[in-house]
Structure 1
Amino acid sequence: MGRAARGVKFLLVVPPLAGHVAPLRGVAAALTSRGHQVAWCGPCPELSTLVSGPVFPAGDSGPFSLELRPPELRGFAALKYLWESYLVPLADAMVPGVLSAVSAFAPDVVVVDQQAMAGALVAARCGLPWATSASTSTELADPLGSLPKIASWVGELQAGLRARHGVLLGDLRFSPHLVLAFTTRALAGESRLAVPASYVGPALPAASGEWSPVDDRPLVVVTLGTSNASAGARFLAESVDALAGMPSVRGLVVDPSGGLVSESVLLARRIPQVAVFAHASVVVCHGGHNTVCEALSAGVPLVVAPIRDDQSMLAQQVTAAGAGVRVRFDRVKAADLRTAIESAEAFRPGASRIRESFEAAGGAEEAASRLESLG
């Protein structure tokens, strides 16, 4: 009887980011239900608020928050900040804690989020099989392939990490054993990299909480996720103006700051997103991977206004799949948003095709099966 049959220990190494932890929560539940042991490792105390089960601390989540990034940064400036002020320092800070977790928990397999490179460093150093958790698919599309100087700069930063921690390894973002892509080829296309990618589809949470429509009008939801409050004030205000001028729909705008006021548009600081999207006709969002997948899992067409990081490429994937339309985050006006929302119905067939591909991919259960093959 193999180890996968009698139970395997999996250590999940993640950054303190809700969107990156989210897909692995479902995978952890699936592994546990099959008789395996699962533990988490990452910066605390924040990680402990995002997961259930044993948590091994690795670094302090206080200094490492993308909310500290100046909201006006875009393009290469945003990428530079991400790597120099977040990803690399986070990896250096997490390595001692991940080493301690490996010593204490003695995992058979390590699962590493792409933004928690300390997991890859330690797994390689300890000779453990490890899998990459690609919570967003954009790296598989090789976004820097046409930007050799920037790609070389990223490579040098990684080389410095490997040298500091005594590891001979390739790209820390891609395991040579298994890369779990929480998407499908129908949305993301084929990987442009020679990596062992398994397209398992989104590992979405069950709907938490209940939500009922206020009336029978089509529901249009506007959300910019959990980490874009300061950058999104203008866009959300334009969205309220756009929806106020559309009496045939019911608008719902998620305003984390609570600063917006409207007599005709519903406003909320947060929503049970999966439950709300089940009733939505259109979702307007920033292109965050979880939000995109949650909307498309409900067959809801999108209006995507990417802000930075991988969101532009996700917007490109949505439009290429015929599942939505793209607008300019920095420049869009209320009239432009109304036009985009009114056009979204034409993209419902594309959104339905993506939903079907998600349902066929297997999600958390398929990811758990792939991980078992490493044990």
Structure 2
Amino acid sequence: MASIMIAVMPFVGHVAPMRAVAEAFLADGHRVRVYTGAAHAGAFASLGAGVVPWRVAPDFDEHDLPAAFPALRDRKGPAQMLANVREVFINTAAGQCVDLRAAFDEEPWEVIVADGLSLGAHLASEHTGTPWATVSIVPLTIPSRDLPPPGLGIRPGRGPLGRARDALLRGILPLVSARLERDYRLARSDAGLAPGGRPFGDAWYSPELVCASGVPELDYPRRDLPSQVVYVGTLTPAAAAPPPPGRRPDWLPDAAAGGDPVVHVTQGTLNTEPRDLIQPAFAALGRQRVRLVAVTGRRGRPELPFPAPPNAAVSDVIPYAGLLPHVDVMITNGGWGGVLAALAHGIPLIVAGGDLDKPEIAARVAWAGAGIDLRTGTPSPRQILAAWRRVSADPAFRASAERVGAALRQHDGPAEVVQHTLRLLQARRAPGA
């Protein structure tokens, strides 16, 4: 039995996959504690894991980030991404480190398994000298000499001009990220660490083990992929539970028996303004012969500020184990967990990726041929209707989605994270290590 600390940033989209990882460690007989925000403590305590709450680090409500981080107010697009990285991830890192060091002093762990966006886990690992395994719950953003800088949502260039463009962008990146590098250095200092250490661009990934959600079929090819990276597929339990009574939409029995195609529309769990995507999707497809299923992404809040068409069902959240086997096309804001879940079922996608990591995810889906990148987070009804007609008429999209899905289904992500982490521990314990 090993003593495991799992660090999870307090976002629903981070908690769900890391909960599956915690469950896999517990099922394998290990002692598990989880460091996360108070709103998500119950999700891990219900598994039997110990919970270490954010104390010195400023806990927050992901649905009202400006309340804890005023600098995020009225930010959208690239400005939001940069402010998010600085305020939510870098400026909380020192506090996370303090919290984790206190937990380590109380009861040492053998390895810290961290959500890839938990910089505090990296700093705590450096302080304690314990190994650190990264679980990348978003697409890999490790820089490469073969790719444009990560996060821009653009595909690798082709030919001499395309490669020159990518090289130019890579050269500009240090200038753009200079302030983030300074903020990260201040966070290290505030955490009591000496100058030096890994540079900001490498600080998100363990030098020993990176368990990357996804598969190579959704990642651009590169010659310099670090040797510690392993792909683990989707981070969901191997056997997901069926929807609980009362949460199963009444259209599901009819959908299972055939009839009109089912189109799932989701705004995700962060930046859940339904007018951005759900409303134009309703306008585009409300008169089509489809069955629309929309989720607001806010548990306990299924209401929309506009009427739904007669062919639409609306819920707050729906467990994907019950929903996705009946879905023909998904229209999504591009959250990585939802995208992987859809592709694991061979469902082609229409992606409206507006900010944060979403444009990058949308570009990868289109590059893989598994869907259409709308290149905006606020598409018009006409854009959605045209994309839906393309995806529905061209079987190549479904074939590509199924190809990616077949690769995803080869994995049991949570179990593989456990296996790779235990190998890391064994290597550390070996004589002379």
Cα contact 2:350–2:374 (8 A) shared by 1: yes
Distance 1:71 1:239, change over 3 A: farther
Query: 1: distance between equivalents of 2:62 and 2:316?
Result: 20
- Aligned with residue 65 of structure 1, among 53, 62, 65: 62
Aligned equivalents of 2:241 and 2:79: distance in 1? 36
* Runs of 4 or more above 4 Å deviation: 69-72, 190-193
Alpha-carbon shift at residue 207 of structure 1 (Å): 4.1
Deviates more, 1:192-201 or 1:333-342: 192-201
Amino acid at match of 1:235: L
Q: Say yes or no: does 1:163 pair with 2:189.
A: yes
Partner residue, 2:243: 209
Aligned to 1:98: 100
2:415 aligned with 1:362:
no
Which residue of the other structure, out of 280, 288, 297, is the alignment partner of 1:246? 288
* Structure 1 unpaired stretches of 5+: 1-6
Aligned partners of 1:71, 1:276: CA distance in 2, in Å?
Answer: 34
Q: 1:244 and 1:65, CA in 2 relative to 1: closer, same or farther beyond 3 A?
A: closer
How far does the alpha carbon of each residue in 1:46-98 deviate from its partner, in whole angstroms, 9 at most, with x for none?
13033232101233664463632558533331122112321123212222211
Aligned to 1:143: 150
How many equivalent pairs are there? 366
The whole-number CA distance in structure 2 between the counterparts of 1:209 and 1:320 is: 33
The root-mean-square deviation of aligned C-alpha atoms, in Å, is 2.2
Q: Out of 82, 85, 88, which is 2:84 matched to?
A: 82
TM-score (ref. length: structure 2): 0.79
Q: Deviations over 1:157-178 (max 9, x none)?
A: 2222222223352132011111
Instruction: Render the CA deviation track for 1:174-212: whole Å, top value 9, x for unaligned.
Output: 111111101111112346654621111111141441642
1: CA distance, partners of 2:389 / 2:338:
20
Secondary structure in structure 1 of the residue aligned to 2:29: coil
> Which whole-Å CA distance do the structure 1 matches of 2:380 and 2:85 have between them?
32
Task: Check whether the contact 2:8–2:18 (CA below 8 A) recurs between aligned residues.
Answer: no
Query: Aligned partners of 1:66, 1:36: CA distance in 2, in Å?
Result: 33
Q: How does 1:40-55 map to 2 (within 5 A)?
A: 40-43=34-37, 45-52=38-45, 53-55=49-51
The AA in structure 2 aligned to 1:219 is V
TM-superposed CA distance for 1:370, in Å, is 0.3
Q: Sequence identity, in percent?
A: 25
18, 40, 54: which one aligns with 1:24: 18
Q: Does residue 1:185 correspond to 2:216, yes or no?
A: yes
Q: Deviations over 1:122-166 (max 9, x none)?
A: 111110011111111142365166323223333222222222223
Unaligned residue ranges in structure 2 (runs of 5+): 67-71, 144-148, 152-168, 297-301, 426-433
Q: Against the structure 1 CA distance between its residues 209 and 252, is the aligned structure 2 distance closer, same or farther, given a 3 Å change threshold?
A: same
Change (3 A) 1:41 1:62: closer
Preserved contact between residue 219 and residue 252 of structure 1 (Cα < 8 Å): yes
Structure 2 residue identity aligned to 1:135: I
Distance 2:130 2:231 in 1: 23
**Mapping of residues 254-269 of structure 1, within 5 Å:** 254-255=295-296, 256-261=302-307, 262-269=309-316
Question: Shift of residue 330 of structure 1?
Answer: 4.7
Normalising by structure 1, we get a TM-score of 0.90
Structure-2 residue corresponding to 1:56: 52
Q: Which residue of 1 aligns with 2:365?
A: 318
Indicate the SS of the match to 1:81: helix
Q: In the superposition, relative to structure 1, how do residues 204 and 111 fare at CA in structure 2: closer, same or farther (>3 Å)?
A: same
Q: Select 1:175's aligned residue among 195, 206, 225.
A: 206
CA contact (8 A) 1:181 1:198 kept: yes
Q: Distance in 1 between matches of 2:263 and 2:109?
A: 45
Distance 1:21 1:172 in 2: 21
Aligned partners of 2:276 and 2:378 also within 8 Å: no
Distance in 2 (alpha carbons) for counterparts of 1:95 and 1:50: 22
CA contact (8 A) 1:246 1:338 kept: no
Kindly state the Cα deviation for residue 316 of structure 1 after the two structures are TM-superposed. Answer: 0.8
> Could you tell me which residue of structure 1 aligns to residue 27 of structure 2?
33
Query: Are the aligned partners of 2:218 and 2:364 in contact in 1 as well (CA < 8 Å)?
Result: yes
12 and 307 in structure 1: CA distance in 2 versus 1, 3 angstrom threshold: same
Is the Cα contact below 8 Å between 1:207 and 1:274 reproduced in 2? yes
Aligned-residue offset at 1:257 = 4.2
Describe the SS at the equivalent of 1:284: strand
- CA contact 1:24–1:203 (8 Å) conserved in 2: yes
